[in-house]
Amino acid sequence: MSTRERDRLKVMHQLEQGQLSRGVAARQLGVSERQLRRLLRRYREEGDAGLIHRLRGRASNRRTGEEVRERAVEVLGGELRGFGPTLASEQLQSRHGIDVSRETVRKWMVEEGLWKSRRSRAQHREWRERRACVGELVQMDTSEHDWFEGRGPKAVLITMIDDATSRVFMRFYPSDTSAANREMVGEYIRRHGRPRALYTDKASHFRDNRPLDAEDELEGKRARTQLGRALEELEVVHIAAHSPQAKGRVERSFGTCQDRLVKLMRLEGIADIESANAYLVEHFIPEWNRRFTREPREVADAHRSRQGFDLQAILSHQEYRSVGNDYTVQYRKARYQILEESVRGGLRGSRVTVEDRLDGTIRLRWRGGYLKHRALPAAATNRAGAAVGLRPPSAPARKPRASREPTGWKPGPDHPWKKTYPRTLLSCAKQDIPTLR
């Protein structure tokens, strides 16, 4: 018997003993006196069993049919094996027309041994309120996972999620490199604008602990990565998290993606990065933003315009190189000739900034302008690394020195090279050395 039925039994026993009136007993049980008379009649006829609910042990009229259950369990154990109850119920409805609730699917999966709940350890974390406006703070992180389950190449997922609304922007890349992160930031800014702050971990793409070179140290600069420099030029504040839990919003999104996204791409047969990114743009990201985003506390958009910022230049890989006497610049085993029309006073021997852009082009920047140049063929450098056949625009051309072949001539015995000369040996004894005063 349930607790409610045991309470009814006690009241009925007191009523039979004459300790309670029917009005008081009806109020205690929360029923009308007419219903109380029915309960009393059943109690007198059937005893304690008469107070047990009549529907106990009977199937519900809204119970899912056994054929539907068998068909759903077959799909859950086959095509949807490994899916969680929520995602499995969604796919059963969209792909197979089986409209059942998440709890029903969870119950079936537990009964068939297809699902086991995971209990998370409770850890104390200080709560941080969401930012008020869109674009005020964006969290960014990378997830390394077997996204294609062995069907395709290795890939990483880089995600940027707005702190105020949980709106996501994500892309797949072959590896977690500085160039991939810079390209991701550029794509986000072109789509939404410059955020106020970027919240990341302490990966080497964002922070550099190496010592400065002498020139930067004299200028008072600090060590920066390529992405850190780009964020400063874009006027985006970089915040480094001290733990994964500090940027929990993007970390939790990876838990969802590693479950839902992997299985959805399996159903779609996706096995390469290009197709995966197309699926993200066309299906996954719009569905995520429709279901999981929330309204910000303030309607204002904190994103700033990207006008006036050359994203190709800012997000490039930049290094300093010295200009040689022949007006060439060497960068990564390649040599670039500065054209005569870009030569100015003070250029030779100075340092230029080499911009290795994300589209693969090379630009040379000097004193706020770009120098016209051309790439030299690989055969244009000798063993010493100097350009062969190149000259400064103002220097006259040199004729190549003719090679000399051996003549076979040998000096005679009376040649000065063969003569010996008397040698004078100086004594270095201590008593022979004069004393200087």
| DSSP annotation string for 378-405 | GGGB-TTSPBSS---TTSPPPPPPPPPP
Torsion over CA: 232, 235, 236, 239 (sign): positive
Query: How would residue 433 be classed by pLDDT, with cut points 50, 70 and 90?
Result: very low
Cβ atoms of 158 and 176 closer than 8 Å: yes
Provide the 10 A C-beta neighbour count for residue 53.
11
Torsion over CA: 196, 202, 203, 209 (sign): positive
Q: Can you tell me the distance from the alpha carbon of 352 to that of 356, in angstroms, rounded to the nearest whole number? A: 13
Cβ atoms of 235 and 194 closer than 8 Å: yes
> Is the confidence at residue 432, as pLDDT, over 80?
no
> Is the confidence at residue 385, as pLDDT, over 50?
no
Buried b (16+ CB within 10 A) or exposed e, 322-343: ebbebbbbbeeeebbbbeeeeb
pLDDT of residue 16: 83
The 10s digit of each residue's pLDDT in 342-384 is: 888 889 889 999 999 999 899 999 988 999 999 988 755 554 4
pLDDT of residue 113: 86
Residue linked to tokens 């190189």: 321
> Is the confidence at residue 397, as pLDDT, over 60?
no
pLDDT of residue 161: 93
- Going by their DSSP bridges, the two strands 138-144 and 156-162 should be labelled as antiparallel
The 10s digit of each residue's pLDDT in 251-280 is: 888 888 999 999 999 999 999 999 999 999
Count how many Cα atoms sit within 13 Å of the Cα of residue 205 in the half-sphere of its side chain.
Answer: 21
pLDDT of residue 201: 83
Query: How would residue 403 be classed by pLDDT, with cut points 50, 70 and 90?
Result: low
Query: How would residue 209 be classed by pLDDT, with cut points 50, 70 and 90?
Result: low
> Is the confidence at residue 180, as pLDDT, over 90?
yes
Secondary structure (DSSP) of 79-134:
TTTT--HHHHHHHHHHHH-----HHHHHHHHHHTT-----PPPP------PPPSSB
The 10s digit of each residue's pLDDT in 58-109 is: 777 777 888 888 889 999 988 888 888 999 999 998 988 888 899 999 999 9
